[in-house]
Amino acid sequence: MNNQRTGGESAEITRARDALRSGGAVLVTEGSGEGDTGAFVLPAGTLTAEKLIAASSFGFSDPFFVLSEPTASRLGLAVVKASKGGAWFAESFDLALAPEMPTRQYETDVAHVLADESTPAGALLRPGRVRPLVARPGGVVRRASFAEAASDLAELAGFGAGVFVPVRTRSGSPAPLAEAEEAAKQLGAPVLELSRLIAWRVARTKLIERVASVHLPSAWGDFAAIAYRSQLEADPDRVHIALVKGDLSKEDAPLVRVHSECMTGDVFGSLRCDCGPQLHAAMSMVERAGYGVVLYMRQEGRGIGLVEKLRAYELQEKGLDTVDANLALGHKPDLRDYGVGAQILKDLGITKLRLLTNNPAKIVGLQGHGLEVVERVPLEIEPNRYNKKYMTTKEDRMGHLLHLSDGEKERDQ
């Protein structure tokens, strides 16, 4: 896929913005894999009944309207904020002289009224049959959903409200991605993966805040421990920690390890993985180098969380490897994101680095957020009898550069 940047935007983002500004639709997809689906995002400010009819006929669905929290406040609509990852809603309303049964023309009028910044609160009759969604502050960075995507794209295109139509089958279930993409072709709508929009927003949104810095002498070196809070974390105590060695301004490309949290390995010394030994080896190597960072990211279980990791362990005990166990639980093999980590490194003054890793994907992830990895420094740990299969899977199926000997590998027969 072509991701060439144009004027600071990816080509995909530019196509989506231009399509909306010209009155067209954009198909936003959850991803590109089996089970993913999509929704048409439409331009609220210039929406026509004909365009809404076309999108709704392909989507077999009614439109959803999306407001920002400030817009809902300006219109005098109370916001109901769901806990955790649920959707936010605004108070229901109708327009004056609303028809007895909503029509696509009426829904188009609603879109225009919501997108018009001069609309006064008195223009809306409450309660009513229209109940718009409310995008969370930070958009798709805070919640990866079609609602937040519609709000972000509306803002990008210069509209005050978003509209989206989920693509469904005639039975009402989410349509397979192939059907959604075929509908997009017939509508002439560009396709934009949600992950692309998230990456674009992350690159333009400050997600981190320094909250504490202390001296931390340890068994593996003497560091400054700097705590960073991320906007993406609902729990304010769930902070990322940068262990910093030396004056980083004196080193053009300091040694850096980006280590994802592993409670079982890092804290309890589990032999099922190589995480704990990798963390301690990295700390020792940075200590010897005299300058560098060990960045401890709260991305337990390659991003799936502790409970799901333990469930994956249960499946591994039944014979699955670490990749298939994740897939069986409905997760991708690796859900880690390096956008927050990249912002932390930049906040520490790092733009070039020597990266301690065996994982080429980590290099790509950091470089994708504007850091220059000038050297990959291996961090290989000798396998033990409990993690041979895990290490073999990392090398054979996840592309890690481990150079295991035949005697160190364990494969299913």
CATH, residue 359: 3.40.50.10990
CA–CA separation, 148 and 137 (whole Å)? 9
Question: How does strand 5-6 pair with strand 9-10?
Answer: antiparallel
Terminal CA-to-CA distance of the chain, rounded, Å? 37
Residue 4 has pLDDT above 50, yes or no: no
| pLDDT value for 409 | 61
pLDDT per position as a tens digit, 88-136? 999 999 998 777 777 899 999 999 999 999 998 888 999 999 999 999 8
| pLDDT value for 314 | 83
How does residue 3 score in pLDDT terms, banded at 50, 70 and 90? very low
| pLDDT value for 302 | 64
Is position 309 within any domain?
Answer: no
Burial 306-319 (b: 16+ CB within 10 A, else e): eebbebbbebbeee
Q: Which two tokens stand for residue 27?
A: 């198909």
Same domain? 25 vs 111: yes
Least confident of 15-19, 144-148, 196-200: 196-200
How does residue 1 score in pLDDT terms, banded at 50, 70 and 90? very low
CB hemisphere CA count around 28 (13 angstroms): 30
**Is 207 in contact with 82 (CB distance < 8 Å)?**
no
Same domain? 92 vs 215: no
Burial 83-101 (b: 16+ CB within 10 A, else e): eeeebbbbbbbbbeebeee
Is position 370 within any domain?
Answer: yes
- 0.95 exceeded by the pTM? no
Q: What burial class does residue 367 get, using C-beta atoms within 10 Å of its C-beta: 0-12 exposed, 13-18 middle, 19+ buried?
A: middle
Same domain? 161 vs 178: yes
Is position 23 within any domain?
Answer: yes
pLDDT per position as a tens digit, 218-241? 999 999 999 999 877 767 788 999
Is position 380 within any domain?
Answer: yes
Is position 326 within any domain?
Answer: no
CA–CA separation, 42 and 61 (whole Å)? 14
Residue 5 has pLDDT above 70, yes or no: no
The binding site for Zn(2+) comprises: 262, 273, 275
% residues pLDDT > 90 (the chain)? 51
Same domain? 177 vs 212: no
**Is 98 in contact with 110 (CB distance < 8 Å)?**
no
How does residue 295 score in pLDDT terms, banded at 50, 70 and 90? very high
CA–CA separation, 44 and 161 (whole Å)? 6
Contacts of 297 (CB under 8 A, 6+ apart): 240, 258, 259, 260, 261, 336, 340, 341
Residue 393 has pLDDT above 80, yes or no: no
Same domain? 55 vs 138: yes
% residues pLDDT > 70 (the chain)? 90
The residue among 202, 230, 260 that closes a domain is: 202
Q: Across the chain, how many H-helices and E-strands are there?
A: 13, 19
| pLDDT value for 407 | 59
Residue 413 has pLDDT above 50, yes or no: no
Same domain? 162 vs 234: no
How does residue 408 score in pLDDT terms, banded at 50, 70 and 90? low
CA–CA separation, 393 and 334 (whole Å)? 13
| pLDDT value for 78 | 94
pLDDT per position as a tens digit, 29-64? 987 766 778 999 999 999 999 999 999 887 778 899
Torsion angles phi and psi, residue 202, rounded to 5: -60, -40
Same domain? 97 vs 175: yes
Same domain? 214 vs 173: no
**Is 221 in contact with 229 (CB distance < 8 Å)?**
no
Find the domain containing 277 and state its range. 207-299+336-398
How does residue 391 score in pLDDT terms, banded at 50, 70 and 90? confident
Cis peptide leading into residue 137 (ω within 30°): no
How does residue 28 score in pLDDT terms, banded at 50, 70 and 90? very high
Residue 381 has pLDDT above 80, yes or no: yes
**Is 87 in contact with 145 (CB distance < 8 Å)?**
yes
Same domain? 93 vs 211: no
Is position 196 within any domain?
Answer: yes
The residue among 178, 202, 226 that closes a domain is: 202
> Alpha-carbon torsion 56, 179, 184, 36, what sign?
positive
The total number of structural domains in the chain stands at 2
Summarize the confidence of residues 301-317 as an average pLDDT. 78
Helix residue ranges per DSSP H, 75-207: 104-115, 146-157, 177-187, 194-204
Mean pLDDT of the chain: 86
Summarize the confidence of residues 141-170 as an average pLDDT. 90
The side-by-side arrangement of strands in the sheet containing 372-377 is: 208-218, 221-230, 240-245, 292-297, 255-260, 352-356, 372-377
Same domain? 167 vs 31: yes
Name the residues annotated as catalytic: 334, 336
The binding site for GTP comprises: 257-261, 278, 300-302, 322, 357, 362
Summarize the confidence of residues 180-202 as an average pLDDT. 89
| pLDDT value for 286 | 97
The residue among 202, 228, 245 that closes a domain is: 202
The binding site comprises: 257-262, 273, 275, 278, 300-302, 322, 357, 362
Same domain? 76 vs 94: yes
Is position 316 within any domain?
Answer: no
